[in-house]
Structure 1
């Protein structure tokens, strides 16, 4: 995938317990390698040191105002008039268009535990985003619309790790979809780190779903 020189990239660490973003620009490209200037932490405005082998989710906005994201890895450094960091650049089919709405929603089954009145109820999601979930109603809900509940969501990642996200939510509505009853829940209080896990999970699943469609 050929990217325009001077394009600004936003880098978010893939495997970390910290919420960080780094801003950099593409200085050069050689087929599958991107050369970027030294990235700057968007909060501290300090130059960041990226360790070889560390992995990131990179995003950028193209000239047509459409935003894209892709997975990348630090490959090393190149000395020259402008010292640069080398990042891997995947093929075009590995780039995912970022939807303009705030939260990207993906259809995928995920185990979720709902706590209400000190009791736990197990469900499976129909879809998930950083803003909420829709769950399959294999049994009636013990709570009503606008009531607050606590959720524990198990997010299985491609590398084998499982992250447990805890957040509060409220029931928005119950809907019928293809003769299946679903409950739509909106997240109420999700900390930044857990939200980052959900965004990363949705990105991985979106990319995985695309690969499956292309394989068929």
Structure 2
């Protein structure tokens, strides 16, 4: 179990609490911790980019991505405002047995087509090309590309992703380093090859962006009745 720590980015799921508060996701960061107490920066709404001061005594669902790549969530209550010069909110971090790991490092991939830039930096195979993903998760992705890019299992790729944010109608960007784990040639001549990659290096913030895009895609597929 990975507990949140100072500097950790945390997301807050905001259900509609009143006529003036909209549902959505808030982003914050832990600025200080003392025992079971933590102080978080004033959260920012994904939908507007504006600060949101949450009322004391209100319970919320918090979630974060651990350094091991796993997804964790817990429920806790806003205890009040911090006393430092920098505006913060105080929360109580629950014990380990109350923090739930909902996904392992090898996340379930969802069908999602996004634009990516791929680079293989070798003397003989110095590739830099654009492609589209076939599926995506917090732990890896698959994409298709022309067969003249001679990729092999074990190749290390630098990948830049353009991630849609449905709640803000904006595009976020993330960078990962990944290892090619499988290359599948096309079944017919003239078609692209299929390449599967697992992430080996990705920042906490970038992985959280990727997971959020996957989560939004899962909700979209469920609403369409495609995914249970």
Q: TM-score, normalised by structure 2?
A: 0.54
2:147–2:193 Cα contact (<8 Å) kept: no
**Corresponding residue SS for 2:206:** helix
Question: Which residues of 2 match residues 43-58 of structure 1 at below 5 A?
Answer: 44=33, 45-48=37-40, 50=42, 54=45
* RMSD of aligned residue pairs (Cα, Å): 4.0
2:152–2:183 Cα contact (<8 Å) kept: no
Offset, 1:193: 0.6
Distance of 1:201 and 1:22 partners within structure 2: 14
1:21–1:42 Cα contact (<8 Å) kept: no
Question: Which residues of 2 match residues 27-106 of structure 1 at below 5 A?
Answer: 33=17, 41=30, 44=33, 45-48=37-40, 50=42, 54=45, 77=55, 83-85=56-58, 100-102=103-105, 103-106=107-110
Offset, 1:87: 6.1
Offset, 1:121: 1.2
In structure 1, the residue matched to 2:141 is: 133
1:162 has 2:162 as partner: no
Distance of 1:22 and 1:210 partners within structure 2: 22
**Corresponding residue SS for 1:127:** strand
1:191 has 2:203 as partner: yes
1:150 has 2:158 as partner: yes
1:104–1:202 Cα contact (<8 Å) kept: no
1:21–1:41 Cα contact (<8 Å) kept: yes
Label 1:84 to 1:178 Cα distance change in 2 as closer, same or farther (>3 A).
farther
1:109 has 2:113 as partner: yes
1:168–1:190 Cα contact (<8 Å) kept: yes
Label 1:183 to 1:190 Cα distance change in 2 as closer, same or farther (>3 A).
same
1:33–1:87 Cα contact (<8 Å) kept: no
Q: TM-score, normalised by structure 1?
A: 0.57
Task: List runs of 5+ in structure 1 lacking aligned partners.
Answer: 1-9, 12-17, 24-30, 35-39, 57-73, 78-82, 89-97
Task: List runs of 5+ in structure 2 lacking aligned partners.
Answer: 19-28, 62-100
In structure 1, the residue matched to 2:85 is: none
In structure 2, the residue matched to 1:172 is: 181
